[in-house]
Amino acid sequence: MRSAYGVGRDWPISYDELEPYYCRAEEAMGVAGPNDPLLQSPSERSKPYPMDMVPWSYGDKRFAEVVNAHGYRSVPIPQARSTRPWKGRPTCCGNNNCQPICPIGAMYNAIHSVQEAETLGAHVLAESVVYKIDTDENNRVTAVHWYDNQHQSHKVTAKTFVIACNSLESPRLLLAAANERNPGGIANSSDQVGRNMMDHSGFHCFFQSPEPLWIGRGPAQSSCLVGPRDGAFRSEYSANKIILNNITQVTSATSVALKKGLVGPALDAEIRRLTTHGVDLSISLEPLPDPKNRITLSKTRVDPHGIPCPDVYYDVGDYVHKGYDAAVKQLEDIGRIFNATDFHVTTALNANNHIMGGSIMGSDPKDSVVDGNCRAHDHTNLWIPGGGAIPSASVVNSTLTMAALGIKAADDISKSLRA
Residue 170 or 248 having the CB closest to ligand SF4: 248
Minimum distance between the CB of residue 25 and ligand SF4, rounded to whole angstroms? 18
Identify the residue among 30, 76, 202, 219 touching ligand SF4 (CB under 6 A): 219
Identify the residue among 29, 106, 144, 197 touching ligand SF4 (CB under 6 A): 106
Which position among 112, 200, 277, 354 bears the catalytic label?
354
Instruction: Report d(CA 349, CA 118) in Å as an integer.
Output: 40
Minimum distance between the CB of residue 385 and ligand SF4, rounded to whole angstroms? 26
From edge to edge, which strands make up the β-sheet containing 153-157? 129-135, 141-147, 153-157
List Cα–Cα distances, 306 to 109, 122, 130, 309, in angstroms: 30, 28, 12, 9
Minimum distance between the CB of residue 101 and ligand SF4, rounded to whole angstroms? 8
Do 58 and 77 form a contact (C-beta atoms < 8 A)?
no
For residue 202, the SS3 value is strand
Residue 60 or 371 having the CB closest to ligand SF4: 60
Residue 354 catalytic? Answer: yes
Identify the residue among 68, 95, 139, 142 touching ligand SF4 (CB under 6 A): 95
Instruction: Report d(CA 23, CA 134) in Å as an integer.
Output: 36
Examine residue 122 and tell whether it contacts ligand SF4 (CB under 6 A).
no
Examine residue 93 and tell whether it contacts ligand SF4 (CB under 6 A).
yes
Identify the residue among 92, 163, 224, 403 touching ligand SF4 (CB under 6 A): 92
* Residue 90 amino acid letter: P
Instruction: Report d(CA 53, CA 41) in Å as an integer.
Output: 13
* Residue 365 amino acid letter: P
Residue 227's closest CA among 73, 70, 42, 415? Answer: 73
Identify the residue among 7, 18, 104, 345 touching ligand SF4 (CB under 6 A): 104
Identify the residue among 9, 81, 112, 277 touching ligand SF4 (CB under 6 A): 81
Using DSSP bridges, classify how beta strands 161-162 and 382-383 pair: parallel, antiparallel or unpaired: parallel
Per-residue binding letters, 173-212, with ligand SF4 (x by CB under 6 A): ----------------------------------------
**DSSP letters for 278-304:** EEEEEEEEPPPP-TTSEEEEEEEEE-T
List Cα–Cα distances, 163 to 167, 172, 213, in angstroms: 11, 11, 45
Examine residue 399 and tell whether it contacts ligand SF4 (CB under 6 A).
no
* Residue 70 amino acid letter: H
Examine residue 98 and tell whether it contacts ligand SF4 (CB under 6 A).
yes
Count of helix runs (H) and strand runs (E) in the chain: 9, 15
Residue 170 or 222 having the CB closest to ligand SF4: 222
Residue 12 or 94 having the CB closest to ligand SF4: 94
Identify the residue among 1, 23, 107, 225 touching ligand SF4 (CB under 6 A): 107
- Which of the stretches 93-101, 183-191, 236-244, 367-375 binds ligand SF4 when contact is defined by CB under 6 A? 93-101
Do 322 and 238 form a contact (C-beta atoms < 8 A)?
yes
Do 187 and 359 form a contact (C-beta atoms < 8 A)?
yes
Examine residue 216 and tell whether it contacts ligand SF4 (CB under 6 A).
no
Minimum distance between the CB of residue 42 and ligand SF4, rounded to whole angstroms? 24
Residue 52's closest CA among 78, 29, 74, 73? Answer: 78
Residue 210, phi then psi, degrees to nearest 5 = -70, -20
Residues binding ligand SF4: what is the number (CB under 6 A)?
A: 13
By CB under 6 A, the residues from 227 to 266 that bind ligand SF4 are none
Do 144 and 134 form a contact (C-beta atoms < 8 A)?
yes
Minimum distance between the CB of residue 63 and ligand SF4, rounded to whole angstroms? 18
Identify the residue among 7, 13, 27, 96 touching ligand SF4 (CB under 6 A): 96
- Which of the stretches 92-100, 221-229, 243-251, 373-381 binds ligand SF4 when contact is defined by CB under 6 A? 92-100
Residue 31's closest CA among 73, 75, 64, 77? Answer: 77
Q: Which residues in this chain contact ligand SF4 in the complex, by CB under 6 A?
A: 81, 92-98, 102, 104, 106-107, 219
Q: Supply the residues annotated as catalytic.
A: 354
